[in-house]
């Protein structure tokens, strides 16, 4: 397991993550990319605990996702199954488990203040924190995708499933975009990654 984790995690986080996995008897599966999620946790019918994490994540996002999923398991064990998946108990557990990793030996110093801010009140997904998502993207391999907030108003773009949209106005935090084929309006997070078609 150690040699596998070295490929996916920051070097100085491997030992502590291995400890968390062993302590909680986690069966970790590293899987092909799923567009809708970075990872998930499942209590299996035989009583074991399975966590899956996408193989395509950069090592910092992989670490955050792995600890996020372990926090579900730890929170359920400690507080029972009746708690909300991303409620106060999970948030507190995630903060506690993540704290030892938020240091310059593990994360680049540019990420530390953004992580500190995020973990004051962690979200259900690191992607819903636009600042953190954009900061983490700096460590991804180059791709031809753009963020919605970067696109000019009125430009058309394609999302992962092939649907085409036209960018509209910003509503508080998210953007109203019209699906070209149906005319329906959808709301997009500013940091959604899309393929620009026309300006």
Taking only the tens place, the pLDDT of each residue in 178-187 is 999 999 999 9
Domain limits, CATH 2.30.30.30, in the chain? 146-198
Instruction: Indicate the CATH number of 146-198 among 1.10.150.120, 2.30.30.30, 1.50.10.10, 3.40.50.2300.
Output: 2.30.30.30
Q: What local confidence, expressed as pLDDT, does residue 123 receive?
A: 85
Q: Which CATH architecture has domain 2-137?
A: 2-Layer Sandwich (3.30)
CA–CA separation, 94 and 78 (whole Å): 13
Q: What local confidence, expressed as pLDDT, does residue 126 receive?
A: 77
CA–CA separation, 193 and 20 (whole Å): 32
Q: Is 198's pLDDT higher than 90?
A: no
CA–CA separation, 182 and 163 (whole Å): 10
The closest of 91, 69, 92, 89 to 79, measured between CA atoms, is: 89
> Residues in the chain, how many?
199
Rounded to the nearest integer, the mean pLDDT of the chain is: 91
The closest of 2, 34, 30 to 18, measured between CA atoms, is: 2
Domain limits, CATH 3.30.2010, in the chain? 2-137
Q: Is 132's pLDDT higher than 80?
A: yes
pTM: 0.80
Confidence of residue 199 (pLDDT cuts 50, 70, 90): low
Q: Is 176's pLDDT higher than 70?
A: yes
Q: What is the pLDDT of residues 145-164, one digit of tens each?
A: 888 888 999 999 999 889 99
Tokens 């997070």, residue?
Answer: 189
Beta bridge partners of 49: 26, 43
């Amino acid at each position: 397991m150690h040699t596998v984790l070295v490929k996916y995690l920051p070097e100085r986080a491997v030992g502590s993550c291995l400890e968390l996995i062993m302590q909680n008897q986690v069966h970790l599966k590293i899987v092909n990319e799923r567009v809708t999620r970075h990872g998930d946790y499942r209590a299996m019918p035989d009583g074991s605990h399975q966590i899956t994490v996408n193989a395509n994540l950069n090592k910092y996002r992989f670490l955050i996702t792995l600890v996020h999923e372990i926090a579900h398991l730890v929170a359920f064990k400690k507080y029972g199954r009746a708690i909300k998946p991303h409620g106060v108990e999970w948030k507190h557990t995630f903060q506690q488990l993540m704290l030892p990793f938020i240091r310059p030996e593990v994360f680049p110093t540019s990420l530390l203040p953004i992580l500190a801010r995020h973990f004051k009140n962690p979200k259900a997904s690191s992607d819903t924190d636009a600042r953190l998502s954009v900061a983490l993207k700096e460590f991804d391999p180059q791709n031809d995708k753009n963020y919605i907030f970067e696109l000019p108003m009125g430009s058309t773009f394609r999302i992962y499933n092939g649907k085409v949209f036209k960018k509209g106005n910003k509503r508080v935090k998210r953007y109203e975009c019209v699906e070209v084929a149906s005319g329906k309006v959808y709301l997009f997070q500013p940091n959604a990654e899309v393929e620009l078609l026309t300006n």
